[in-house]
Amino acid sequence: MTAPLRIGFIPLVDAAALIVAVDKGFAADEGLDVTLVREVSWSNVRDKLNIGLFDAAHLLAPVAIASSLGLGHVKVPIVAPFNLGLNGNAITVSAALHAAIMDEIEGDPFDPMATALALARVVAVRRRSGAEPLTLGMTFPFSTHNYQLRFWMAAGGVDPDEDVRLVVLPPPYMVESLANGHIDGFCVGAPWNSRAVDHGVGHILHFVSDILVRAAEKVLAVRQNWSDKNPDVVAALVRAASKAAEFVAQPQNHAETARMLAQPERIAVDADVIQRTLDGHLKISPDGTIRQSSRYLLVGREGASRPDPVQAAWLYAQMVRWGQTSFSPEALRIAKAAFSPELYDAALGREEKAANAPQSIGAFAGPAFDADDIAGHLAAFEIARRT
Q: Rule CB under 8 A: which residues touch other proteins?
A: 40-44, 47-48, 50-51, 53, 72-75, 139-141, 161-162, 165, 167-170, 172-173, 177, 180, 182, 323-324
In the complex, minimum distance from the CB of residue 48 to other proteins, in angstroms, rounded to a whole number: 6
* Residue with smaller CB distance to other proteins, 4 or 107: 4
* Residue with smaller CB distance to other proteins, 169 or 284: 169
Helical (H) or strand (E) element with 298: strand 297-298
> What is the rounded CA–CA span in Å between residue 260 and residue 253?
11
* Residue with smaller CB distance to other proteins, 63 or 117: 63
- CA torsion sign, 216 to 221 to 227 to 231? negative
* Residue with smaller CB distance to other proteins, 78 or 278: 78
Helical (H) or strand (E) element with 332: helix 329-337
In the complex, minimum distance from the CB of residue 273 to other proteins, in angstroms, rounded to a whole number: 19
In the complex, minimum distance from the CB of residue 60 to other proteins, in angstroms, rounded to a whole number: 10
In the complex, minimum distance from the CB of residue 24 to other proteins, in angstroms, rounded to a whole number: 28
In the complex, minimum distance from the CB of residue 132 to other proteins, in angstroms, rounded to a whole number: 12
The dihedral over CA atoms of 143, 146, 148, 152, expressed in degrees to the nearest 10, equals -170
* Residue with smaller CB distance to other proteins, 167 or 290: 167
* Residue with smaller CB distance to other proteins, 174 or 371: 174
In the complex, minimum distance from the CB of residue 47 to other proteins, in angstroms, rounded to a whole number: 6
Distance of CA 294 to the CA centre of its chain: 17
Strands of the sheet containing 78-87, edge to edge, are: 34-38, 5-9, 56-60, 216-223, 78-87, 297-298
Helical (H) or strand (E) element with 28: helix 26-29
> What is the rounded CA–CA span in Å between residue 277 and residue 359?
23
* Residue with smaller CB distance to other proteins, 42 or 247: 42
**Residue 297 contacts by C-beta under 8 Å, 6 or more apart in sequence?**
13, 14, 85, 86, 87, 88, 190, 277, 278, 280
Backbone angles phi, psi at 264, to 5 degrees: -55, -35
Within 10 Å of residue 3's Cβ, how many Cβ atoms? 9
> What is the rounded CA–CA span in Å between residue 124 and residue 133?
10
In the complex, minimum distance from the CB of residue 255 to other proteins, in angstroms, rounded to a whole number: 29
In the complex, minimum distance from the CB of residue 271 to other proteins, in angstroms, rounded to a whole number: 23
Do 35 and 7 meet the contact criterion of CB atoms below 8 Å apart?
A: yes
* Residue with smaller CB distance to other proteins, 159 or 246: 159
